[in-house]
Structure 1
Amino acid sequence: MPSFEIVTHVMAPPERVFDISLNVDVHAASMAGSSEEAIGGVTAGNLKMGDIVTWRARHFGIRWRMTSMISAYDQPGYFVDEQVSGPFKRWYHAHHFRPYGHDGTVMSDVIEFAAPLGPLGRIAEMLALRHYMPKLIRVRNQYIKQVAEANLTAD
């Protein structure tokens, strides 16, 4: 099963980065390139333990739906979202937030995923998903970083 980790340094406190990372509106804005939108469950504001959200997006020219649930939550240290239903055989995304320096955060995303369809899915993982998924998370994290750092003076 493929897995990867993306580490992002954010010059904002962990509590702030944690909250922004759980915001449905921020997530949708970060994924504007794939037209991602929340269409079911919690569709605005911040997610919390046990919340479910259904996303609709376009990846590889195909419209996808994925329902995920916040399955672990320890503010401001980490949360986990896992696919309940959708395109993956398995999707597990752990978000970790550690203090760094003075009011900074090390945000670490650990993702495990598996494509469906047995051998065909493993080919898709090797040819496309192993490269596409980390890029997608990096785009998301850069948006979170931008929001967290840009609005510090507005609080």
Structure 2
Amino acid sequence: METEIVLHISINAPIQVVFDCARSIDIHQLSTAKTNEKAIAGRTSGLCELGDEITWRAKHFGFYQTLSSRITKLKAPYYFQDCMLKGAFSFIKHDHFFEEKDGVTLMKDVFAYGVPYGICGKLFNKIILEKYMTAFLTERNRVVKEVAEKEVHSA
């Protein structure tokens, strides 16, 4: 069973600034401070590029976990996709879309994932995980917006 989370956010910054903030490992780590998420292998800082692999370590639900992903598609500054290679999910596919209108960038996330463990996994997803992942991604997007808008206003 697949779950899909779709989020939209308007950011008062040019598309290239938002695109770069969204693929910044450093900004991602800033947005995930509550889970102590760190890039520990592959590309560990800077901007993700096509083909890059990143291994993350973070504490979720009281346990440290690792997840490896790869940037599988990239069309600057409009789109990139990252997919899980290894981790606790059965799969993750995260599409990031960017569109600029009148100096405002619309960022859209489409985060699709599957959970293992049969009916127990499905139940955990419906009761806890889907809300948790939505909040996790919403916080990430809030930080991307904050950093991108600050970057534009300080320039």
Aligned to 1:134: 134
CA deviations on 1:74-122 (whole Å, 9 max, x unpaired) are: 001110011000110011100000112x211000000111111122211
Aligned to 1:113: 113
Residue aligned with 1:76, SS: coil
Aligned to 1:124: 124
Q: Between the two proteins, what is the percent identity of the paired residues? A: 33
- Residues in 1 aligned to 2:42 and 2:80: alpha-carbon distance in whole angstroms: 18
CA offset at residue 153 of structure 1? 3.6
Scaled by the length of structure 1, the TM-score of the pair is 0.96
- Residues in 2 aligned to 1:123 and 1:53: alpha-carbon distance in whole angstroms: 29
Amino acid of the structure 1 residue aligned with 2:97: H
Aligned to 1:69: 70
Residues 72 and 79, structure 1, Cα contact 8 Å, conserved in 2: yes
- Residues in 1 aligned to 2:20 and 2:131: alpha-carbon distance in whole angstroms: 28
Runs of at least 5 residues in structure 1 that lack an aligned partner in the other structure:
none
- Residues in 2 aligned to 1:29 and 1:113: alpha-carbon distance in whole angstroms: 23
Which structure 2 residues correspond to residues 6-155 of structure 1 after superposition, within 5 A?
A: 6-100=7-101, 102-155=102-155
CA deviations on 1:38-66 (whole Å, 9 max, x unpaired) are: 00000010010000000000111111100
Scaled by the length of structure 2, the TM-score of the pair is 0.96
CA deviations on 1:10-32 (whole Å, 9 max, x unpaired) are: 00011110011111111001100
In terms of mean alpha carbon deviation, does 46-55 or 123-132 score higher? 123-132
CA RMSD of aligned residues (A): 0.9
Residues 114 and 125, structure 1, Cα contact 8 Å, conserved in 2: no
CA offset at residue 154 of structure 1? 3.6
- Residues in 2 aligned to 1:67 and 1:83: alpha-carbon distance in whole angstroms: 6
- Residues in 2 aligned to 1:103 and 1:56: alpha-carbon distance in whole angstroms: 36
